[in-house]
Structure 1
């Protein structure tokens, strides 16, 4: 059984970015989006200054300073390899989102990094939550497995979503 990470939050996040479950390399490194070909940190570098060249704690500090929290839909699951398609849904347990949103009432937007995160959040998490008026946006996956979309197009989609949520993104 794989175990995910704790959420990364600042004092008053307004946006929550959710993946599905950290990949094998991320789990080994104990860092979100640690795969060198994942485009999450290059995109966040361009948009909020969380450059991939910065040490990991500084990247997280840049995200939280911008009002962004980071987490995953699943707390634990069984999966062979790193692909979302390999997550065994019958073993997947979601994180405590009721507790998260109670502790972080300023979060109004959830940005879902890819299809598995979006599908799982909408099917397994939202129905169990009270109506919080959350704005949920499915974004193109930053995973290296989603190579059919160019980096500039992904960056534009992420920029637009962050700006719509009131996050100053370049």
Structure 2
């Protein structure tokens, strides 16, 4: 495997007021190229989360989006620290290493729920986090265009996050 196929995650976007932590699996090619979470134009992440908080995140700059998330108590990170992968599909992930999720969570005193953006994130993340007392774990349908559930159905599931954002 060449170095070109080794993909690394971004640093977490959190602060002490983070109540909801959304975990993806590993950034895709478009996100890595732009060094931005959920940068692929067909990924519905920003539209879904905007629907939850009542803000049009798609019209904001990337830095403003991150600031808005933090204002609402939402943090971002990934379950996988690095892995070998050709392309962007989770199914192509090989030889992955995990991020230190429990260590990050220990630094977030207001955290109430960890939401997994998609099945790979949920499968890998739940293995690390299942035993943490008082922490809710929530599986969400992937915001990725590769997961073809209708947008309205995805949004209905994602709106469950609103419980912790009031």
The alignment status of 1:101 with 2:88, answered yes or no, reads: no
Counterpart of 1:140 in structure 2 is 141
Q: Match for residue 84 of structure 2?
A: 78
Q: What is the SS of the residue equivalent to 1:103?
A: coil
Gaps of 5+ in 2: 1-5
- CA-atom RMSD in angstroms: 1.4
- Paired residues of 2:19 and 2:74 also in contact (CA < 8 A): yes
Structure 1: how far apart are the matches of 2:133 and 2:101? Answer: 11
Query: In the aligned structure 2, how far is the partner of 1:24 from the partner of 1:132?
Result: 35
Quote how far apart the aligned CAs of 1:68 are.
0.6
Which of 121, 129, 151 is residue 126 of structure 1 equivalent to? 129
Q: Give 1:1-170 correspondences, 5 Å limit.
A: 1-48=6-53, 49=55, 51-88=57-94, 91-123=95-127, 125-126=128-129, 131-147=132-148, 149-160=149-160, 162-164=161-163, 166-168=164-166
Change (3 A) 1:10 1:131: closer
TM-score of the superposed pair, with normalisation by structure 1: 0.89
Helix, strand or coil for the counterpart of 1:52? helix
TM-score normalised by structure 2 residue count: 0.91
Distance in 1 between residues matched to 2:133 and 2:64, nearest whole Å:
31
Note the C-alpha offset of 1:5.
0.3
- Measure, in 1, the Cα distance between the counterparts of 2:117 and 2:78: 9
Q: Structure 1: 5+ residue runs without aligned partners?
A: none
The superposition leaves residues 77-135 of structure 1 with CA deviations (integer Å, 9 ceiling, x where unpaired) of 111100011111xx211111232112112212010001000001123x226xx633211
